[in-house]
């Protein structure tokens, strides 16, 4: 999302409060996540922001334009960071998988609530379904390519990528409420299962340190 310096004064008693494009997008994202795409309506958002409908059209051509930008935000976060982490140079396949695991730890890299909202939206919208299918394919292919760079043949790499990725998506879809403190002791077994190789004590220590830092930073 690009920031803008242009602002529109909100209607209301204060008169000097301003609503920016980022205000609209932030509220639209929150609404999409909490209430679903049907509740992302110009009038409803405007009422919550205490601005007139006309201010919306300063930033967006239409409601569809807003929805398209929400989809683009999702692509530029959830998909982009998985692809980037999968493409990061790594000395071992264990380290490669650890890079992808970072997305499951840090909601700034992958927001599962947003992904779930997009998946719910896709059940109603063929265009969103196509965008979701494309994103899933792009994510899996990036993880597959990571395995292939470490010597796995294409079929093995593809299956391992699907297992790693869809297991995590299923974990989110089931809304399992398991704190990171409960999952972290199993990280060595997860790494072993996904790669068929034995992680070192240093691998596990480094990932645990990353988790602790991330949790502390996001508080």
| Structural domains in the chain, sorted by start | 1-60 (1.10.10), 62-218 (1.10.357)
For 18, list phi and psi in degrees, rounded to 5. -115, 145
Does the model's pTM come out above 0.85? Answer: yes
31 CA to centre of own chain:
16
What tokens does 192 get? Answer: 């072993």
Mean pLDDT over 138-165 rounds to 98
Residue 58 near residue 51, CB atoms below 8 Å:
no
Whether 16 shows a pLDDT value over 90: the answer reads: no
Whether 212 shows a pLDDT value over 70: the answer reads: yes
For 198, list phi and psi in degrees, rounded to 5. -95, 120
pLDDT in tens, 73-124: 999 999 999 999 999 999 999 999 999 999 999 999 999 999 999 999 999 9
What tokens does 216 get? Answer: 């502390």
Provide the pLDDT for residue 209: 94
Whether 6 shows a pLDDT value over 70: the answer reads: no
What percent of the chain shows pLDDT beyond 70? Answer: 92
What tokens does 81 get? Answer: 């960071």
Q: CA-to-CA distance for 42 and 49, rounded, in angstroms?
A: 10
Provide the pLDDT for residue 217: 86
Tell me the sheet residues that pair with 11.
none
pLDDT band at 17 (very low <50, low <70, confident <90, very high): low
SS3 assignment, position 19: strand
Pairing type for strands 18-19 and 8-9 reads antiparallel
Mean pLDDT over 172-190 rounds to 83
Consecutive H or E run containing 8: strand 8-9
Question: What sign for the dihedral angle of Cα 63, 64, 70, 76?
Answer: negative
Mean pLDDT over 160-175 rounds to 91
Closest CA to 86 of 134, 154, 155, 157: 157
Arithmetic mean of pLDDT over the chain: 90
């Amino acid at each position: 999302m690009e920031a803008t310096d242009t602002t529109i004064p909100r209607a209301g008693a204060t008169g000097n409060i301003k609503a920016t494009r980022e205000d609209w997008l932030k509220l639209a994202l929150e609404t999409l996540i909490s209430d679903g795409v049907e509740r992302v309506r110009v009038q409803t958002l405007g009422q919550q922001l205490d601005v007139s409908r006309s201010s919306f059209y300063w930033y967006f051509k239409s409601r569809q334009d807003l929805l398209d930008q929400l989809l683009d935000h999702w692509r530029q976060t959830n998909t982009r960071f998985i692809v980037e982490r999968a493409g990061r140079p790594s000395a071992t396949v264990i380290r490669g998988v650890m890079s992808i695991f970072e997305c499951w730890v840090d909601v700034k890299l992958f927001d599962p609530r947003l992904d779930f909202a997009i998946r719910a939206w896709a059940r109603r919208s063929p265009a969103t379904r196509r965008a979701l299918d494309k994103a899933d394919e792009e994510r899996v292919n990036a993880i597959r390519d990571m395995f292939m760079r470490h010597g796995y043949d294409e079929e093995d790499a593809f299956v391992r990528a699907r297992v790693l990725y869809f297991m995590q998506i299923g974990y989110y879809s089931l809304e399992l409420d398991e704190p990171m403190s409960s999952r972290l002791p199993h990280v060595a077994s997860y790494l072993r299962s996904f790669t068929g190789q034995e992680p070192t004590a240093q691998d596990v220590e480094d990932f645990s340190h990353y988790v602790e830092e991330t949790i502390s930073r996001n508080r």
